[in-house]
């Protein structure tokens, strides 16, 4: 059994997920109000696990804990094919529960260095982390709900594999612009518009000064 996957994306009003390519998304938080932080952290607290891609773990160095709401911290999950994450990341040093999913290509030295931080290391996939296999393993461990907080590359893989059940788009009331600035989902371009992933609109909500739009997979 696989967990329910909830993709949560914070974007500018023009749909950008950072203010420029290769930048951390953390500076975007200056455009958030307290209400949206409570909303996001409340959602984290209701999920069994929270996943970010390896680049997000490196660039943003997030905590992914519940600080602005009441509730337990979810298990933090990072797919990193070779397990080559910096060992001083907050996720690996703050004493919280973290699971790093690696592929068989991850050298033993990386696996043991990660384990030495207290993180759990799980193998799924040969060259790259096999996300469906990872979700199955998470489900077997009792993870029934998984929040995914980006970035664009991991979301592209999850969407293309048909594994995103719910998409929550949270807008910041600003425009970034930028031809090369990434949107919330990356990956290769569509060859045909019929390859678009169809969604159903569930809810449009105002939270503080933010629009929050909830979709489900059709
Ligand atoms: N606005 C927001 O809500 C938000 C949220 C999070 C992040 N961000 C921003 O997004 C940017 C990072 O996003 P990103 O697209 O560069 O990277 P990402 O999605 O965070 O991470 C992608 C990496 O995950 C690893 N991975 C392992 N297995 C994978 C698989 N099956 N499919 C895809 N990836 C797999 C790969 O690294 P390995 O090859 O090492 O395995 C891959 O390069 C940063 O600028 C960050 O600030 C924005």
pLDDT, one tens digit per residue, over 84-131 is 999 999 999 999 999 999 999 999 999 999 999 999 999 999 999 999
Q: Which domains does the chain have, with CATH numbers?
A: 4-217 (3.40.430.10)
How far, in Å, is the centroid of ligand 1 from the Cα of 58?
9
pTM above 0.85, yes or no: yes
| Whole-angstrom distance, CA of residue 199 vs CA of residue 79 | 26
Which atom of ligand 1 is found nearest the CA of 186?
15
Q: Is 56 in the pocket of ligand 1 (CB under 6 A)?
A: yes
Q: Three-state SS for 145?
A: strand
* Dist. CA 39 → ligand 1 center (Å): 23
Say whether pLDDT at 1 is over 90. no
Predicted pLDDT at 154: 98
Cis peptide before 151 (omega within 30 of 0): yes
Say how many Å lie between the CA of residue 183 and the centre of ligand 1: 12
Residue 168 in contact with ligand 1 by CB distance below 6 A:
no
Positions of E strands within the chain? 4-12, 49-51, 75-79, 98-102, 120-123, 145-148, 166-172, 199-207, 210-217
| Mean model confidence pLDDT for the chain | 97
Q: Ligand 1, residues 55, 99, 184: which to mutate, most atoms within 8 A of Cβ?
A: 55
Q: What pLDDT shows up at residue 127?
A: 98
Euclidean distance between CA atoms 86 and 61, whole angstroms: 10
Share of the chain above pLDDT 90, in %: 100
Tell how strand 98-102 and strand 199-207 pair up.
unpaired
C-beta of 9 in contact with ligand 1 (< 6 A): yes
- How far apart (Å, rounded) are the C-alpha atoms in residues 174 and 130? 36
Q: Would you say the CB of residue 18 lies under 6 angstroms from ligand 1?
A: yes
pLDDT of residue 32: 98
> How high is the pLDDT of residue 86?
98
Question: What does the pLDDT average to over 135-155?
Answer: 97
* Angstrom distance (rounded) from CA 218 to CA 215: 9
Give the model confidence (pLDDT) of 167-199 as tens digits: 999 999 999 999 999 999 999 999 999 999 999
């Amino acid at each position: 059994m696989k967990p329910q996957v909830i993709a949560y994306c914070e974007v500018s009003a023009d749909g950008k997920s950072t203010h420029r390519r290769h930048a951390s998304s953390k500076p975007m938080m200056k455009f958030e109000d307290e209400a949206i932080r409570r909303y996001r952290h409340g959602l984290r607290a209701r999920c069994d696990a929270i996943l970010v891609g390896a680049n997000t773990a490196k660039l943003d160095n997030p905590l992914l804990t519940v600080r602005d709401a009441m509730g337990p911290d979810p298990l933090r999950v990072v797919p990193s094919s070779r397990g080559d994450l910096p060992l001083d990341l907050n996720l690996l040093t703050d004493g919280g529960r973290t699971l790093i999913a690696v592929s068989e290509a991850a050298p033993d030295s990386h696996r043991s260095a990660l384990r030495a931080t207290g993180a759990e290391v799980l193998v799924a996939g040969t060259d790259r982390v096999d996300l469906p296999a990872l979700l199955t393993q998470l489900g077997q461990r009792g993870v029934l709900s998984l929040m995914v907080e980006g970035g664009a590359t991991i979301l592209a893989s999850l969407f293309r594999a048909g594994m995103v059940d719910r998409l929550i788009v949270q807008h910041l009331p600003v425009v970034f612009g930028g031809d090369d600035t990434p949107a919330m989902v990356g990956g290769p371009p569509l060859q045909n518009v019929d390859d678009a992933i169809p969604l159903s609109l569930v809810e449009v909500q105002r939270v503080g000064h933010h629009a929050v739009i909830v979709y489900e997979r059709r």
